[in-house]
Structure 1
Amino acid sequence: MPDTKRETLRFAPSPNGWLHPGHAYSALFAWDMARATGGRFILRIEDIDVGRCRPEYEQGIYDDLAWLGIEWEKPVRRQSEHFAEYEAALKKLREMGLVYPCFATRKEIQDAIAESGIPPRQWPLDPDGAPVYPGLYKDIPKRQLNELMWEGRSYCWRMDTEKACTMAEELNGGPVTFMEEGVGSRGEHGLIRARPQAYGDVVIARKDVPTSYHLSVTLDDATQGVTLVTRGQDLAPATHIHRVLQVLLGLPEPRWHHHELVRDADGRRLSKTAKDMGLRELRARGVTPEEVRETIGLAERA
């Protein structure tokens, strides 16, 4: 059972690449805060993307964090070992009538946007920069839905965001809010009203994997008793989705602290996709953990 009497923080990387200084900032930020409050620090491996995650990257996470001087509780929770839990939560959302299967391909979505009469450049984008889903397959007849499933068409599960928000507010007895102790997606701080509509009908699960980042991270934080979620500002918009899911699924409410991102000299944030220099490379070059802290601006918290 989670220790509800102590502050609990976590670092939850995906083993789909090597950790870079941006990850070091996030991990050390949570580790330092846990030590300062006498709290718990949890490491979680978010490996639901079974096609991209690799054992060597997971081992690299353990090696890099140990090198940084971070200690974590064991055993480590690996999301790939808990698909049944995510599937149970998905079933609950389905029974509540809040999710629906979407068979739309990327090309179908692009074609629907092109045929909408709205110039593609003016089509709304979600906080992650992707076009907001145009609603294909949202209200198709049940007979057609069954035919598509019988054909074996690939699909994902999308949340009916407007319906979900309405039900969440009914369950909550008023507007759904969350506490931001850092800086939110729009520079907000303090008590913020959850408004996930910017994402449209967001993907909650896929046919081959019964979850998505949004669903799994929400369930994991509750299961592990996380009281303060610390992560980069790029993930701040997702909090609006996660808070609504917490209300719908009857999960406890943590607080959030979104921190600044580590950027290069040109202001670009570091990423695995851009193959920025990893911690393992810095270690091989003789860089010390103290020098990493100094580079990312956390030396004073060591």
Structure 2
Amino acid sequence: MISTTVAAVVTRFAPSPTGRLHAGHAYSAIRAHDFAREQGGRFLLRIEDIDPGRSRPEYVAGIVEDLRWLGLNWDGEMVRQSSRLDSYRGALGALGADGLLYPCFCTRADIAQAASAPHGPEGAVYPGTCRALDPAERTMRMEREPHAWRIAIDRAVARTGPLHWHDATAGEIAADPMRFGDVVLARKDAPASYHLAVTVDDAWQRVTDVVRGQDLFEATHIHRLLQALLGLPTPRYHHHPLLVDATGERLAKRRGSESLADLRARGVDPLALADALRRGEATGL
């Protein structure tokens, strides 16, 4: 007999603890939370805290405080990426064993100054400087220089062949990771990049539906490639519009957008705020 059981919906909110949450974060969390609850599914909280230079414990506490203030509850224990480093090393090991990775010693300044570097969705595309290093030189430099690990994107794409993924708004999308060039999968100062960690963790947590902002739409091309290379399932994607302020600018930490803590301090009603965000409103709060 063929089973007709459909896997329960699982969504997640996965902020980085590099600052206080603002209304844009709350909007995304509410959308992921509500989608799961409407489907009778589970809503998870994951803290993406593997950036040692910017992550702060007080911001983790702030995330928990802000979500509870908004009336959002998650299922199970909060997961920290910093507790899952072995999983990322395992994924890197598998990709390396397939001959898809190489060490990169370049700085951001080196890449920016490369006259031949075109631009892709994430800025300057890596010109491939370290791909051409002599194996002996590569080994010697690895012993004494910090290095990242990049994926040889052409070899990876050749390995998987054509790939697709589905977005709730845009429909069926043909994956095009070549536009990104040889992206970093492990940074010099961290054991995994965002691309690798989020792909591994979504599979591990059995996330069925990724609800996140439109600013991460392009990154899905890389995530789909990594899913295929690592034999991981592909969730359904729901990229939502970004909230903007009264000037039409998107809300962002780096722009100093008013935080949820600031709104709380000036007496904003959290239920009224959550209702406004559900309507997609960000101004006048």
Q: TM-score range by the shorter chain?
A: over 0.9
Deviation at 1:111?
A: 3.1
SS of the residue 1:44 aligns to: strand
* Structure 2 residue aligned with 1:181: 168
1:90-143 Cα deviation digits (max 9, x unpaired): 011011111110111223223322xx4xxxxxx532213x21111111121101
Structure 1 residue aligned with 2:159: 167
User: Using a 3 Å threshold, how does the CA distance of structure 1 residues 265 and 297 change in structure 2: closer, same or farther?
Assistant: farther
> How does 1:112-151 map onto structure 2 within 5 Å?
112-113=114-115, 116=116, 124-128=118-122, 130-150=123-143
Render the CA deviation track for 1:14-39: whole Å, top value 9, x for unaligned: 01100000001000001111111111
Given candidates 30, 37, 44, the residue that maps to 1:35 is: 37
Q: Is the 8 A contact 2:243 2:280 kept in 1?
A: no
Number of the residue aligned with 2:263: 282
Partner residue of 2:183 out of 198, 202, 209? 202
Q: Find out whether 1:158 has 2:137 as its counterpart.
A: no
Please list the CA deviations of residues 70-89 of structure 1 after superposition, one character each: whole Å capped at 9, or x if unmatched.
00123111000111110010
Out of 206, 212, 219, the residue aligned to residue 238 of structure 1 is 219
Deviation sequence 1:157-197 (CA, Å, 0-9, x none): 1111111111112xxxxx21101113xxxxxx111111011
Structure 1 Cα separation of the partners of residues 49 and 127 of structure 2: 29
Asked if 2 retains the 8 angstrom alpha-carbon contact of 1:9 and 1:228, the reply is yes
The CA RMSD over aligned residues, in Å, is: 1.7
Retained in 1: the 8 A contact 2:212–2:238? Answer: yes
Moved more, 134-143 or 286-295: 286-295
Q: Which runs of 5+ in 1 are unaligned?
A: 117-122, 170-174, 183-188
Aligned to 2:198: 217
Equivalent residue for 1:15, pick from 14, 17, 26? 17
| Pair 1:4–1:12, CA change in 2 (3 A) | farther
In structure 2, runs of 5+ residues without a counterpart are none
Q: Aligned partners of 1:299, 1:270: CA distance in 2, in Å?
A: 13
**Do the aligned residues in 1 keep the contact of 2:105 with 2:147 (CA within 8 Å)?**
yes
**Matched residue SS, 1:137:** helix
Distance 1:299 1:154, change over 3 A: closer
Contact 1:293 1:299 in 2 (8 A): no
Question: Structure 1 residue aligned with 2:250, among 242, 248, 269?
Answer: 269
Q: Count residues with an aligned counterpart.
A: 277
